[in-house]
Amino acid sequence: MPDFITVTQLNNYINEILTRDPVLSDLWIKGEISGFKLYQQSGHMYFTLKDKKSTLSCVMFKNRNLRLNFIPEDGQEVLVRGRVSVYPPQGKYQLYVEEMQPYGVGGLFLYLNQLKERLEKEGYFDQSRKKTLPFFPRRIGIVTSQDGAALRDMWRILKSRHPGIEVLLVHSAVQGMEAPYQLAEGIRLLNEYGEVDLIIIGRGGGSVEDLKAFNTEEVVKAVYESEIPVISAVGHEVDFSLTDLAADVRAATPTQAAQMAVPDFESLRENIKEYQQRLIRLMERRLLYYSENLDNLMMRKIWQEPEWTVKTKQDYLHSLNKDLIRAVDNIYQKKANSFMLVLSGLEKLSPLNVLKRGYAVLMKDGNAVRNLDNIKEGDLLTGRVAEGYLILEVKGKEKEELWKI
């Protein structure tokens, strides 16, 4: 019998060849999505990539597609990165997708809109979290390409407006596959360093594809999480990015970002000079005002004849003292007269005076006897007379009708 191998062995052998190939183990492919299916139970995505002449079976497992920033759909052009391998049970090769992103302007706009809506819902563009830029930063960190014109423009403006400013550059690619990760890492490095007061992230203008790195979730999150205020300076005035929305302040251009970052020292000097002149004029007016007041005071008689002024005040004080004594005497006399009148009236009403005229007050058990109802024969009464007390025994009582007038 001839030598043979099994179908499984053949598939495994072909799979080993494909796996060892450096090109097929990690490559980018462009194509149009067709037959897209997302299995809800497993979370895996299955689809076909096609161009005008060929098709390629693809699978993207759940742990990979969870990082997608858009929803794939049939007819959409995409760039995918993955590895080619054989699926032994069916004996066909397919692409195991590790990463996917829209391709072309139309796909990119769809991706941006979906990402913007999601990030906005998650609060990454919340205005209440925006930080205020420092008025007088000592050191500024810039995250951009060291070879770009944007850096030269910002450097020139910063040094012309504030010659003493310190600038710390974190070089990063501003486009290409590695740009989002390098930009985000630059923001994080400056925060870890902690010795900068302000961060500028940006680049010069370009197409939508050129600015794609600044429309990625990695960069937006790094800007949002920065403890240091961030100015976004992406492209020209008409350009706009998701990084602009996440930053604390958006500058239309890198040049404007530098102008916003530091005050103009020359302008500050001119302002200081103007304030100095205004302060001098104000002080001169004040001095003139107080000088005139002093002259007017020195013209008064108290300074010309101080003894006469003191004597006049003393005489006035003596006069007031006499008036006060007379007033107090008058008040005292009036109060004394009123008191004597009240005392005389009380004297007339005093019960003792009545007793002196021969009257007596009968009391039983310490209470005055006002009628005969509570008195009976044999009761002992106390009689109060002018000179003392009498102890009386009731031998009888007789009621007498009062005279009616």
- For 339-397, list the strands marked E by DSSP: 361-364, 367-368, 380-385, 388-393
Of 8-17, 198-207, 396-405, the poorest mean pLDDT is in 396-405
Q: Say what the pLDDT of residue 132 is.
A: 94
Burial of 352 by CB count in 10 Å (0-12 exposed, 13-18 middle, 19+ buried)? Answer: exposed
Q: What is the CA radius of gyration of the chain?
A: 54
Match domain 7-120 to its CATH number in 3.40.50.300, 2.40.50.140, 3.30.450.20, 3.40.190.10.
2.40.50.140
Distance CA 216, CA 223 (A): 11
**What are the counts of helices (DSSP H) followed by strands (DSSP E) for the chain?**
12, 14
> Strand pairing partners for 28?
81
Tell me: pLDDT of 291 over 70. Answer: yes
Given a cut of 60, whether residue 403 has pLDDT beyond it is: no
Q: Indicate if the pLDDT at residue 172 is higher than 80.
A: yes
Q: What percentage of the chain has pLDDT greater than the value 70?
A: 94
404 pLDDT above the threshold of 60: no
| DSSP-derived secondary structure for 94-107 | EEEEEEEEE-HHHH
CATH number of the domain at 137-263, please? 3.40.50.2300
CB 89: neighbour CB atoms within 10 A? Answer: 8
Q: Highest-confidence range of 30-44, 103-117, 336-350, by mean pLDDT?
A: 30-44
Q: Do 223 and 201 meet the contact criterion of CB atoms below 8 Å apart?
A: yes
pLDDT of residue 397: 78
- To the nearest whole number, what is the mean pLDDT of the chain? 86
**How many CB atoms sit inside 10 A of residue 361's CB?**
14
Report whether pLDDT(263) > 50.
yes
**Of 254-263, 270-279, 298-307, 373-382, which range is least confident?**
298-307
- How would you class 177 by CB atoms within 10 Å of its CB: exposed for 0-12, middle for 13-18, buried for 19 or more? middle
Residue 60 has pLDDT above 80, yes or no: yes
What are the pLDDT digits (tens) for 78-123?
A: 889 999 988 888 888 899 999 988 886 666 677 778 888 889 999 9
Q: Say how many Å lie between the first and final Cα of the chain, rounded.
A: 169
What contacts 320, CB < 8 A, 6 or more positions away? none
Strand extents, DSSP E, 125-242:
139-144, 166-171, 198-203, 230-234
pLDDT bucket at 385, cuts 50 / 70 / 90 = confident
Mean pLDDT, to the nearest integer, of 271-293?
A: 88
DSSP letters, 235-299, are: SSTT---HHHHHSSEE-SSHHHHHHHHS--HHHHHHHHHHHHHHHHHHHHHHHHHHHHHHHHHHT
pLDDT higher than 60, residue 351: yes
More confident call, 358 vs 13: 13
Percentage of the chain modeled with pLDDT above 90:
38
State the pLDDT confidence band at 245, using cuts at 50, 70 and 90.
very high
Task: Report angle CA 272, 276, 281 to the nearest 5 degrees.
Answer: 150
Question: What are 208's two structure tokens?
Answer: 């939508």
pLDDT tops 50 at residue 405: no
What local confidence, expressed as pLDDT, does residue 187 receive?
A: 96
Which segment of 84-88, 223-227, 337-341, 348-352 scores lowest on mean pLDDT? 348-352
